[in-house]
Amino acid sequence: MSLSIQSRSGRELLRLSLREPGAPQTVDDLQQLLWLQGPRVKPLRQRLTLPTGVASAPKARSLLEAGHKLEEYGIRVDAGAQDFVVHFKDLGPQVSWRGVFLAEYLGPLVLFPIVFTLQLGGLDFSYAWHRALPQQRAALVAWTLHFAKRELETLFVHRFSNATMPWRNLVKNCAYYWGFATYVAYFVCHPRYTPVASHIQFWIGVLCFGIGELGNLVCHWRLRQLRPAGTRLRQIPYGFLFELVSCPNYTFEVLAWVGFNLMTQTIAGILFMLVGTLQMMIWAQAKHRQYLKEFGTLYPRSRKRMFPFIW
């Protein structure tokens, strides 16, 4: 009747008796014990999983999440003389989840105006503004609003379930966003930029962009309502475009970038949109699967992942 914490190669790091007083009841207890008696890794760096192929967990999930009882994962005293194994992984140094988002969006927010100024006005922003074509000014406003909105949402709307992520993500995400921001801005703000020929296309672009941003905000607001402050609760979202897809916030995000590209028409912008869409499709697939796994038959079958009626 014991609980063995092992590295993934099978080395035992800590063995606990489940019968003794002071035996861990929750995942948090276990993490504390690992921090104090085991491999001396802080709880936020720990990743605890059940070995694959263990069917005892009623919650069909193998990741042991903080805030849950151990018995929810099938680790209970009354389960006969069984011994349990939990796998431990050190995730490495962590940085604040919210901080990563703030940093990665700060790049585009600041870099686009800087490139705009350098490309069109040397060091003089008002001269650059004066010289820019109306379409370039519109692009600057749209881009800046988009990333300002994301910063504000990160601060005041999202209720993330994770507090931290590995610091490598900070480097990776910042490289992605800061790099693309510079690349797109270089062409959109180029002195020899060619504006789109048709006014209709431009205004359709503005419309798509506006709808995309508003729709995205509405989705994020609804997701916030699903989770009481300070919890990690996950619920099935209903209403709005959630009736059709699992991740409508991604759908609107893509729509906004379609709009931006209709307005500005650059290969760089289209590339940014395609890479972003691909990334969101991968996440949408994972989230959709997670919903089905977690809520089973309760989850509406007809829902697609991200593109209504299609995928």
Ligand X SMILES: NC(=O)c1ccc[n+]([C@@H]2O[C@H](COP(=O)([O-])OP(=O)(O)OC[C@H]3O[C@@H](n4cnc5c(N)ncnc54)[C@H](OP(=O)(O)O)[C@@H]3O)[C@@H](O)[C@H]2O)c1
The number of beta carbons lying within 10 Å of the beta carbon of residue 237 is 20
Least Å distance, CB 185 to other proteins, is 12
Euclidean distance between CA atoms 171 and 103, whole angstroms: 10
Q: Tell me whether residue 116 or residue 257 sits nearer to ligand X (CB atom).
A: 257
Out of 7, 37, 194, 235, the only residue in the binding site for ligand X (CB under 6 A) is 235
Q: Which residue has the tokens 């900070």?
A: 170
Euclidean distance between CA atoms 219 and 107, whole angstroms: 24
What residues between 192 and 221 interact with other proteins by CB under 8 A?
Answer: 192-194, 197
- Which one of 198-206, 210-218, 266-274, 291-299 is the stretch in contact with other proteins (CB under 8 A)? 266-274
Decide if residue 110 touches other proteins (CB under 8 A).
no
Euclidean distance between CA atoms 63 and 286, whole angstroms: 15
Name the token pair of 84: 């349990």
The letter for the amino acid at 234 is: R
Decide if residue 176 touches other proteins (CB under 8 A).
no
Task: Please choose, from the candidates 149, 140, 202, 6, the residue with its C-alpha nearest in 3D space to the C-alpha of residue 85.
Answer: 6
Out of 25, 194, 231, 279, the only residue in the binding site for ligand X (CB under 6 A) is 279
Decide if residue 307 touches ligand X (CB under 6 A).
no
The number of beta carbons lying within 10 Å of the beta carbon of residue 54 is 15
Decide if residue 267 touches other proteins (CB under 8 A).
yes
Which positions ≥6 away from 95 have C-beta within 8 Å? 164, 165, 166, 167, 169, 170
Q: What is the DSSP letter of 50?
A: P
Q: Are 291 and 236 in contact (CB under 8 A)?
A: yes
Least Å distance, CB 60 to other proteins, is 25
From the list ligand X, other proteins, none, which binds 188 (C-beta under 5 to 8 Å, kind-based)? Answer: other proteins
Out of 35, 160, 167, 187, the only residue in the binding site for other proteins (CB under 8 A) is 187
Q: Tell me whether residue 6 or residue 94 sits nearer to ligand X (CB atom).
A: 94
Task: Please choose, from the candidates 186, 66, 55, the residue with its C-alpha nearest in 3D space to the C-alpha of residue 120.
Answer: 186
Decide if residue 237 touches ligand X (CB under 6 A).
yes
From the list other proteins, ligand X, none, which binds 226 (C-beta under 5 to 8 Å, kind-based)? Answer: ligand X
From the list other proteins, ligand X, none, which binds 46 (C-beta under 5 to 8 Å, kind-based)? Answer: none
Which positions ≥6 away from 26 have C-beta within 8 Å? 67, 68, 69, 70
Name the token pair of 167: 């610091």
Out of 164, 249, 264, 277, the only residue in the binding site for other proteins (CB under 8 A) is 264
Residues found near other proteins in the complex (CB under 8 A) = 187-188, 190, 192-194, 197, 264-268
Which parts of this chain interact with ligand X (CB under 6 A)? Answer: 158-162, 216, 220, 223, 226-227, 234-235, 237, 247, 249-250, 253, 276, 279-280, 283
